[in-house]
Amino acid sequence: MLVNYYIIYRTNPIFITYVYVEAEVFNHPTIRGKEGLNMSNHNNQTEIILIGAGIMSATLGAIIKELAPHWKITVFEKLKRAGEESSNEWNNAGTGHSSLCELNYTPERADGSIDISKAIKVNEDFQVSRQFWSYLVKNNLISNPENFIMPLPHLSLVHGEDNVNFLYKRFKALSNNPLFKGMEFSGDPKRLKDWMPLVMEDREINEPMAATKIDSGTDVNFGALTRILFEHLKDQGVEIHYEHEVKNLEQDSTGNWNLTVRNLQEGTTDQHSARFVFIGAGGGSLHLLQKSGIKESVAVGGFPVSGLFLVCKNPEVVSKHHAKVYGKAAIGAPPMSVPHLDTRYINNEQSLFFGPFAGFSPKFLKTGSNLDLIKSVKLDNVFTMLAAGGKNVALTRYLIGQLLLSKEQRMEALREFVPSANSDDWELVVAGQRVQVIKDDEKGKGTLKFGTEVIHSPDGSIAALLGASPGASTAVSIMLEILEKCFPEHMNEWEPKIREMIPSYGMSLSDKPDFVEKIQTETAEVLGL
């Protein structure tokens, strides 16, 4: 799909130039607002503006309210309520990403050893999230944690002798670390049937297979958590404006950011200003970052990937599976393609998700525009994106192959996990849009990033979050990183409160088994795990 950039650029360079110039014209102070918008003269001043009512803005707002309760915070969300895009429970798999089962977080080195550094980092970050959620519950700032987090075993499942050897080496490397205490390994079919009866039902075993299991995993309803956090913020006096879309933002000579915000209900447009802006608008963050004009936004692009899940709500089938079971991606497939069969808790009902199957849409948000991809191409990033297209031909082929799959072909992929799966029990659900970041880095021009990227201005007055998994699970660590980069002058003052909320703040946990056990036990008790 990225090759399309090359075709458009070569056959119609005027179009790309036009998009770029149009954006610059709209930013011009003497022209902005003349496209039929009803401009008011309001200039609403606030300390903090959060763009987007997803899990990231919710988390940052909740942290800031604990650290600086008197700061005024304003939130703008273009949809009708919080948590409707990437954070929504139907738009992600709800895995509390802690590297307990995700095989792509533990790559095999050339010498055959297992690199567990990323697994440790992701797990530590999830422990930070658990501690912050526990703090909120313990202090009666939020309640009923069972509405957003449930205990659920995490398993990794592999087939074939080479993969079994890999999984065993991974198990040995992780099980010695206190963060992964309690992990079990087995290649015994009888034991595997106890662990995952639905997966083993009607299975013909004609090659070695094995799994690891750890009971400290979770299922997280990030949509419910997002809405709970925004109710908390509302109670704390945060102004939350739904159906309000940020159309433009620019920094003035005083360092403040001036935002043009469209009220989608009334058709009016107001001016708002803040000394700090966080762009947490999911796939919509890239366009707003580009409009900011900060140098860090130069040569940054995005590649949208949509996802689909097969979902089963048949109680008879659902009752046979109680776990998240992750497999291993096919050779050459991107990390986003790791297949997994998940128990989910949504609206107090259990269901099963299987996927993800990748798709393609030019939209950057599920509720976005088909022009999102084209509008993101600028003169400063076109060659970066062309370079990424040349490097990711295999990804393009993979996406095309995924798009061409019929439901029955997707069912065949499911039957590798659930041999007895009946098509009538499963329906296809379109999940959220993810925009993978493309940027130039030390690895070369046009590098496609699979993960979460934080971009901020040198003066710390604006920050944006781009990318995808494991973002939501590690939201608290990401927001603390933003505070460290954007509010360094306050960190000494805030550190005692941060340590009250998150006792492991700033620590490496791998060499502290007693401390790990303490925080896991305490958070499990508070969160009902």
Question: Which whole number is the average pLDDT over 24-41?
Answer: 35
* Confidence at residue 43, expressed as pLDDT on a 0 to 100 scale: 58
Question: Is it the case that residue 168 has pLDDT exceeding 60?
Answer: yes
**Of 415, 338, 353, 355, nearest to 152 (Cα)?**
353
Report H helices in 240-360.
Answer: 285-292, 315-318
Contact 378, 19 (CB under 8 A): yes
Mean predicted lDDT score pLDDT of the chain: 84
* Confidence at residue 444, expressed as pLDDT on a 0 to 100 scale: 66
| Residue scoring higher pLDDT (336 or 389) | 389
Token pair in block for residue 302: 């995005």
Q: Radius of gyration of the chain from Cα atoms?
A: 23
Q: What is the pLDDT of residues 351-390, one digit of tens each?
A: 999 988 877 778 777 777 787 788 877 777 777 877 777 7
| Residue scoring higher pLDDT (437 or 46) | 46
* Confidence at residue 23, expressed as pLDDT on a 0 to 100 scale: 36
How far apart are the C-alpha atoms of 520 and 498, rounded to whole Å? 18
Token pair in block for residue 400: 């095309």
Q: What is the pLDDT of residues 173-196, one digit of tens each?
A: 999 899 999 999 999 999 999 999
* Confidence at residue 10, expressed as pLDDT on a 0 to 100 scale: 32
Amino acid at 304: P
| Residue scoring higher pLDDT (33 or 502) | 502
**Residues in the chain, how many?**
529
| Residue scoring higher pLDDT (11 or 106) | 106
How far apart are the C-alpha atoms of 223 and 94, rounded to whole Å? 9
Q: What is the pLDDT of residues 379-390, one digit of tens each?
A: 777 778 777 777
Token pair in block for residue 445: 């021009």
Question: Is it the case that residue 461 has pLDDT exceeding 50?
Answer: yes
* Confidence at residue 5, expressed as pLDDT on a 0 to 100 scale: 34
Q: What is the pLDDT of residues 239-255, one digit of tens each?
A: 999 999 999 999 999 99
How far apart are the C-alpha atoms of 51 and 462, rounded to whole Å? 11
pTM over 0.75: yes
Q: What is the pLDDT of residues 119-151, one digit of tens each?
A: 999 999 999 999 999 999 999 999 999 999 999
Amino acid at 442: E
Question: Is it the case that residue 334 has pLDDT exceeding 90?
Answer: no
Catalogue the E-assigned strands of 120-234.
Answer: 149-151, 154-159, 184-186, 209-214, 218-220
Contact 92, 250 (CB under 8 A): no
